[in-house]
Amino acid sequence: MSKRKSLTQYLIEQQRGDAQLPPQLRLLIEVVARACKGIAISVNKGALGDVLGTAGSENVQGEVQKKLDIIANEVLIEANEWGGHLAGMASEEMDDMHAVPLHYPQGEYLLLFDPLDGSSNIDVNVSIGTIFSVLKHKGGEVSNDSFLQAGTEQVCAGYCVYGPQTTLVLTVGHGVAMFTLDREQGSFVQTADNVQIPADTKEFAINMSNLRHWDAPVKRYIDECLQGKEGPRGKDFNMRWIASMVADVHRIMTRGGIFMYPWDKREPTKPGKLRLMYEANPMSFLIEQAGGASTNGKQRIMEIQPGQLHERVSVVMGSKNEVERVTQYHLEG
């Protein structure tokens, strides 16, 4: 078997090759990966580390924070703030952006993250993950507004899934690579390159308990899938819903499928449940880099101009032909 590459080797090749990965961005990715290793250790300890359960606080979206949400957030901030590669960070778990303290050198990048996605799965030992996105700081004093850039401006995105294996999935705009944490060596080792999502699929992921709240185009699409071979699609579909976006998207990265968290009538004034900046944009960048597609039902997610840091969005992503079909149903009204 040929020798596998470490994450460091992969990144140095990206620096020397077509991607021309800037050294500061390479350093940033290495530090995020190191933080993910730290989070993986806490996640693995679970009850033994007294890290399960709620922290007795709420985040800006009014969601109860778990102890691990807060631990993961702190690990990412502490790992990243002193290295000199960042101007600021924004997190799903913080009301406002976190500027790099002035006694540290200021860098040119902005880091956004959902420190621990799939919070409802933490206490029940089901896969969860960290999602992150990197933007360039366009200059001036860093503020919440500095982060309000469309997803097309991302220079890097990734996630780390804490499951049976800890796997880091990464794009710097030149395809998608996967790295598995080798616990004995303590390093991420490349286990997939040039990941490609099949254009067609027979598997969908959506929280079916919300069916009665959906809009007509989503109902139509799912209804047609459920009719199976006898219906207009002429094939049987399978359903999966892990309730960790990281784990659901990872399955799609591995074998295809469509993931949807659409707008629904429970919260009519909100565009959706998932967050544009910390969840939808980084996942869209990865999905598109792997040949898939990602829309909010009507528009490419990465082209949405964000109006606020914690903006929400309706999400339809995964295998290209299925995403195009759902989007077409929305456009037909």
Q: Note the residues at the interface with Mg ion (CB under 5 A).
A: 114, 117
- CB under 8 Å to 113, separation ≥6 — which residues? 76, 89, 90, 91, 92, 130, 131, 132, 133, 278
Q: Taking Cα atoms as reference points, which of 272, 261, 215, 208 lies closest to residue 61?
A: 272
Site residues for ligand AHM, window 179-218 (CB under 6 A)?
207
Please report whether residue 245 would count as binding ligand AHM according to CB under 6 A: yes
Please report whether residue 264 would count as binding ligand AHM according to CB under 6 A: no
Least separation in angstroms between CB 244 and Mg ion: 8
Please report whether residue 107 would count as binding ligand AHM according to CB under 6 A: no
Of the candidate residues 118, 151, 257, 306, the single one contacting ligand AHM (CB under 6 A): 118
Give the binding range for ligand AHM (CB under 6 A) out of 188-196, 211-219, 237-245, 317-325. Answer: 237-245
Q: Taking Cα atoms as reference points, which of 7, 63, 1 lies closest to residue 30?
A: 7
Q: Which does 63 bind (CB under 5 to 8 A by kind): ligand AHM, Mg ion, none?
A: ligand AHM
- Burial of 18-49, coded b for 16+ CB within 10 Å and e otherwise, reads ebebbeebbbbbbbbbbbbbbbbebbeeeeee
Q: C-alpha distances in angstroms, 214 versus 85, 223, 228, 237, 324?
A: 43, 12, 20, 19, 18
Nearer to Mg ion, 69 or 203 (CB): 69
116 is in an annotated binding site: yes
Structure tokens at 30: 């290495």
Least separation in angstroms between CB 303 and ligand AHM: 22
Q: Measure the CA–CA gap between 187 and 228, rounded to whole angstroms.
A: 44
Nearer to ligand AHM, 103 or 212 (CB): 212
Q: Which does 44 bind (CB under 5 to 8 A by kind): ligand AHM, Mg ion, none?
A: none
Please report whether residue 315 would count as binding ligand AHM according to CB under 6 A: no
Q: Which does 328 bind (CB under 5 to 8 A by kind): ligand AHM, Mg ion, none?
A: none
Read off the amino acid at residue 115. Answer: P
244 is in an annotated binding site: no
Mapped onto helix, strand or coil, the DSSP state of residue 219 is helix
Mapped onto helix, strand or coil, the DSSP state of residue 83 is coil
> By beta-carbon distance, which residue lies closest to ligand AHM?
245
Nearer to ligand AHM, 21 or 326 (CB): 326
Give the binding range for ligand AHM (CB under 6 A) out of 12-20, 111-119, 187-195, 294-302. Answer: 111-119
Q: Angle at Cα 39 formed by Cα 289 and Cα 174, nearest 5°?
A: 15
DSSP string, 12-72: HHHHHSTT---HHHHHHHHHHHHHHHHHHHHHHHGGGGT--SEEEEE-TTSPEEEHHHHHH
Q: Which does 203 bind (CB under 5 to 8 A by kind): Mg ion, ligand AHM, none?
A: none
CA 13 to chain centre: 24
Q: C-alpha distances in angstroms, 22 versus 18, 83, 125, 194, 311?
A: 11, 15, 38, 20, 29
Of the candidate residues 6, 27, 34, 63, the single one contacting ligand AHM (CB under 6 A): 63
140 is in an annotated binding site: no
Nearer to ligand AHM, 273 or 330 (CB): 273
Read off the amino acid at residue 42. Answer: S
Of the candidate residues 28, 36, 117, 135, the single one contacting ligand AHM (CB under 6 A): 117
Report the interface residues with ligand AHM, using CB under 6 A.
63, 92, 114, 117-120, 207, 243-245, 261
| Binding-site annotation, residues for Mg(2+) | 92, 114, 116-117, 279
| Binding-site annotation, residues | 92, 114, 116-120, 207, 273, 279
